Amino acid sequence: MENKNANKLTQNGKDKIAIFGFKDGLVGQFLEMAQISKSYDIEYFISIEELPDLNIDHEHRKRPNSKTEFIENGEIFGAPIHVDSEYIGRLSSDDISKVFVLEDDNNKRTSIIKRLLKAKIDVLSFIHESVWLGGNNFIGVGVIIFPMCY
């Protein structure tokens, strides 16, 4: 029997996913560190709040790092951003059953994860290979642990 919640694979055989959040300070670092593109195809990003209206030239002048990504034409990191509080329906209709939640506000993050789990959507975790876990640990769903943490 086919799992009705199973992701449809993209043409290159990878699971397609969505990512909640879009801010480069977190998402950009995560994408680079985790090398998500090796295992997954990012279909789109989801924001539960309206997108900021940015002056891209001004933002680049404020940040000397040329790798910083900003929203342009409703896209970031090569994928569209959907502003959507009814994201469960969107994920379901797009056959996406796996997501990363990179929302930087803890209350919003918790709320998103609870809704996703209730809808039986897999909230993915990532723990960098350089992380050292010692003692008696409990790692919850949707955890992202950056390199060199103990």
Other C-beta atoms lying within 10 Å of the C-beta of residue 93: 8
pLDDT score, position 126: 92
Mean pLDDT of the chain: 85
Among the residue ranges 10-19, 82-91, 113-122, the one predicted with the least confidence is: 10-19
Name the 3-class secondary structure at 76. strand
Among the residue ranges 36-50, 88-102, 113-127, the one predicted with the least confidence is: 36-50
**Nearest-angstrom CA–CA distance, 27 and 69:** 10
**Nearest-angstrom CA–CA distance, 137 and 13:** 34
pLDDT score, position 5: 46
**Chain centroid offset of residue 110 CA:** 14
pLDDT score, position 10: 58
pLDDT tens, residue by residue, 17-62? 999 998 877 888 888 888 888 889 999 999 998 887 777 777 767 7
